[in-house]
Amino acid sequence: MKTLCLAPPRRPTRTAISGACLLCLASTLLPAGAQELAPVTIQGTYDNAIRTSDAASQGVVTAKLIENRPTLRPAEVLEFVPGVIVTQHSGDGKANQYFLRGFNLDHGTDFATYVDGMPVNMPTHAHGHGYSDLNWLIPELVNRISYKKGPYFADEGDFSSAGVARLGLFDSLPEGIASLTLGDNSYARALLTQSVPWQSGKLLYALETAHNNGPWDDPERFHRVNGVLRYSTATDSSRTSVTAMAYSAAWHSTDQIPQRAVDQGLVGRFGALDPTDGGHTERTSLSFQTERKSDTGLFKANAYAIASKLSLVSNFTYNLGPPRLSLRELRCPPRGCNSPWGGPAANMDDPEPLNADQFIQAESRRVLGGAASQSFATPFGGYDSTTTIGTSLRMDWLDPVGLYQGLAGQRVATVQESQVQQSLLGLYAENSTAWTPTFRTLLGARYDRMAVDVRSSIAGNAGQQTADLASPKLSFILGPWNKTEYFVNLGSGFHSNDARGVIARIAPKEGTPIDPAPALVRTTGGELGLRTEAITGLQSSLALWQLNIGSELVFSGDAGDTGASGASRRFGLEFNNHYRATPWLLLDADLAVSRAEFDAPQGDAPNAGRYVPGSVETVVSVGAVISDRGPWSGQFQLRYFGPRPLIEDNSQRSEATTLAYLRLGYQVSRKTKLALDVFNLFDSKASDIDYYYASRLKGEPPEGVADRHFHPVEPRSLRLTLTTHF
């Protein structure tokens, strides 16, 4: 048997060796005719050992750790990436709010997420550019999470300036899984998944359904149905998979509320000021992946087709200023102005309705795309060298994508409706050369070209544009010495802007002239880091980083235009630790400290200042996993999400949020397990997220009142899961 080793042989360490590595070493070192070693599998929770990455902030999380940690929402699997915070300010069917490295990433901007090669981020989205909805993810199918941070990697393109997470799915499961979860607030979830032999490969299927009312005064009535069908084949030198997915969800949402409404007794902490908000979404996809090793190197390719729909009803300002149309001018459908989410009918005789500012964002999207790369050995001058060349292409069609005025969940007027065609082509090359046993360089370059074509209901907001950008990358990797490795990473990247903002010259609501946004905005960054295993059982990494962005312009799906903002810079420090204290106890401790500021003061008085609103400053995460203690197991996770500036002059700041999760597991038999999950263990009364802006309640002045608006964390809740393997 012959096994190809693509990378230069590296001295293995005790914690880095895997089954594939042992096979590779065996085929390389054993003399001809000697008996080859059988594959060895070493199961761990991280793959972050010395000589496994090109940056201190790069790493891999395995399924072993993922299955041990409870998640309140599917997207919380991204919190395995050190420094990432996942929150929510609306219903469970809406994309989460993400924070990382001094960014309020909104719903995904500047943090790229992929599932088996399929991009999750949606450009030019109805609600927000880069919208990353992971509610269709089934955590039990996630095999590993590979993450990187910063614009230092040639194979990463749009949305990846702060970081990127690539989630890989299992090709097959050792046993089938049937699980049922019941919990507080009418929570229920059922999952059935199994893989079976079929033809020359494996067929994996998964069916999931879930329901949740949440702790809200107006029950959320969230319901989702999810299905996965995956066929895969594998040999010693190749692996191929084809995956089909389908997902549908609907919900009634309780959005953020102003603090003064709670103080005045108008609504409780878990109440809604507009009980007709909600949404529904659908997503289907078909994806293909293949990897092939040969004497010439490693070839990878993937392709995908995605179709999705979303209708999202929101109201964040309630009655700020006169409505675009008076209620008496609005015409409701024949069935009346009743919310499709089950809310009350609008009172057409109310001269000052609370929900006059309701709006609806909707889109219908098709996506086609793919990527391919070839790695091959390129030795020269006696130095071991590997070169990779690759390309990616993504095309989005939106017909339509729109912003509408709403009343009790019904569309009553069009603010702006567009048809968009958008494409992004990427080309890259990267070379890794080992100059000495303890010095390696990574040199790369990337070229991206974006093209947009927008047709709009507002004539001045239609047009076409193309833009391109080249991005160099350079990294130095030194060591290891005394089981410690050092990294210097430099790179330039970019983030794209919403196609409508790139073309628009008229504000949809006000009808006033606006400046279009650049299609591609350059980002530049650098990082100094180290990773060490000097202490037996402890993996530690330290990274000092900085990132500059040419523009903070962001298209607001809520307003239909681009908010003015300037260049910015972010810098910070990350310190991550994974300690195998005993064979049955794993301890984690991660610290991320960052600062974000504009290059020049932003906004008008009194909000002028250099602070970037919502930018995360401190994140602390500590955890413990206990396993193999007879029938018992457990996991504890504590997350601290520090205060943040809410406006540019930092005069308004959020409070810190500290949450603890606990899981207790009991192995009833070899195939049956019970797990009790406790979320918000200490019943914190903190906020999931805070904003500071003006809104208007009944009787308040037309310009509204500036106030802190918050979405509370869910109170302590319990979920009990019975899992059977078959």
Average pLDDT over residues 415-424: 97
| Number of domains within the chain | 1
CB atoms within 10 A of CB 656: 16
Strands (E), 174-236: 177-183, 187-198, 201-212, 222-234
Regarding predicted confidence, which is higher, 609 or 475?
Answer: 475
Across 556-577, b (16+ Cβ under 10 Å) vs e yields bbebbbbeebeebbbbbebbbb
- Does residue 18 surpass a pLDDT of 80? no
The reported pLDDT for the residue numbered 350 is 57
What does the DSSP 8-state code read for residue 254?
Answer: -
**DSSP-assigned letter for residue 220:** -
What is the pLDDT at residue 698? Answer: 87
Please state which of the ranges 3-7, 135-139, 233-237, 348-352 shows the lowest mean pLDDT: 3-7
Q: What is the pLDDT of residue 695?
A: 93
Q: Decide: 428 and 375 in contact? Cβ < 8 Å.
A: no
pLDDT of the residue at 552: 82
Full residue range of the structural domain in which residue 628 is found: 43-725
139-148, 228-237, 288-297, 564-573: segment of lowest average pLDDT: 564-573
| Residue reference for tokens 């010095």 | 439
| DSSP three-state, residue 21 | helix
Q: Does residue 378 sit within a domain?
A: yes
Whether residue 4 is predicted with pLDDT greater than 50 in this model: the reply is no
Residues 6+ apart with CB under 8 A from 473: 151, 152, 153, 154, 430, 442, 443, 444, 445, 446, 490, 491, 492
- Mean pLDDT along residues 39-58: 74
Q: Which residues lie below 8 Å from residue 639, measured CB to CB, with a gap of 6+?
A: 79, 85, 619, 620, 621, 658, 659, 660, 661
The token duo for 72 is 């309140």
Q: What is the pLDDT of residue 510?
A: 83
Closest CA to 655 of 133, 297, 259, 159: 259
Which of 224-228, 464-468, 516-520 is predicted least confidently? 516-520
pLDDT value at residue 15: 36
What's the pLDDT score for residue 159?
95
Assess if residue 117 is contained within a domain: yes
Mean of pLDDT values over 80-97 = 94
Helix (H) or strand (E) holding 392: strand 384-407
The bridge status of strand 111-115 relative to strand 163-169 is parallel
27 domain residue, yes or no: no
The 10s digit of each residue's pLDDT in 552-598 is 876 676 666 766 678 999 999 999 999 999 999 999 999 999 999 99
Q: Is residue 703 part of a domain?
A: yes
pLDDT at 356: 81
Confidence of residue 14 (pLDDT cuts 50, 70, 90): very low
Kindly tell me if the per-residue pLDDT of 707 is higher than 50. Answer: yes
By C-alpha distance, which of 161, 127, 136, 119 is closest to 75? Answer: 136
Residues linked to residue 589 through DSSP beta bridges, in sequence order = 577, 622
pLDDT at 8 over 50: no
* Torsions phi, psi for 58 (to 5 deg): -105, 145
Strands 238-252 and 520-532: unpaired
| For range 36-55, the mean pLDDT | 65
Strands 177-183 and 163-169, by their bridges, are unpaired
339 vs 375 pLDDT, higher one: 375
How far apart CA 213 and CA 410 sit, in angstroms, is 22
User: Which residues, other chains included, contact 174 with Cβ-Cβ below 8 Å and sequence gap of 6+?
Assistant: none
Q: Check if the beta carbon of residue 283 is closer than 8 Å to that of residue 245.
A: yes
Residue 2 covered by a domain? no
Please state, rounded to an integer, the average pLDDT across all residues of the chain. 89
* Interatomic CA distance for residues 12 and 18, integer angstroms: 10
pLDDT at 487 over 70: yes
Q: Which two tokens stand for residue 400?
A: 């339509």
Helices (H), 349-488: none
Proportion of the chain above pLDDT 90, given as a percent = 77
pLDDT-based confidence at 185, cuts 50/70/90?
very high
Residue 210 has pLDDT above 80, yes or no: yes
Residue with tokens 């599917």: 74
Q: Collapsing DSSP states into helix, strand and coil, what is residue 78?
A: helix
Which structure tokens are listed for 431? 């070379």
- Residue 565 near residue 551 (C-beta atoms within 8 A): yes
| CATH number of the domain bearing residue 160 | 2.40.170.20
Q: How far is CA 703 from CA 21, 305, 321, 695, 697, in A?
A: 65, 46, 6, 8, 11
- Alpha carbon of 286 to those of 94, 121, 376, 440, 442: distances in Å? 22, 16, 29, 39, 34
Which pLDDT belongs to residue 216? 97
Lowest mean pLDDT among 92-101, 322-331, 591-600: 322-331
CA gap 514, 575 in Å, rounded: 43
Is the confidence at residue 336, as pLDDT, over 90? no
Burial code of 214-231, b = ≥16 C-beta within 10 A, e = fewer?
Answer: bbbebebbbbbebbbebb
Q: What pLDDT was estimated at residue 551?
A: 86
Place of tokens 């090359």: 429
The CA-atom distances, in angstroms, between 120 and each of 253, 287, 299, 556 are 22, 13, 23, 19
Assign 67 to helix, strand or coil.
coil
Long-range contacts for 457-460 (Cβ within 8 Å, ≥24 apart)?
457/402, 457/414, 457/416, 457/417, 457/418, 458/416, 458/504, 458/506, 458/508, 460/504, 460/505, 460/506
Tens digits of per-residue pLDDT, 367-409?
999 999 999 999 988 899 999 999 999 999 999 999 999 988 8
Tokens representing residue 207 in the block: 């069916």
- C-beta of residue 554 within 8 angstroms of C-beta of residue 123: no
Alpha-carbon gap, residue 379 to 392, rounded angstroms? 26
Q: Is residue 231 part of a domain?
A: yes
Residue 333: per-residue pLDDT: 47
Taking residue 520's Cβ as centre, other Cβ atoms within 10 Å add up to 21
Cβ-contact 217, 254 below 8 angstroms: yes
Residue 337 has pLDDT above 50, yes or no: yes
User: Who has greater pLDDT, 227 or 39?
Assistant: 227
d(CA 639, CA 617): 14
Q: Is residue 28 part of a domain?
A: no
Largest CA distance in the chain: 91
Residue 35 domain flag: no
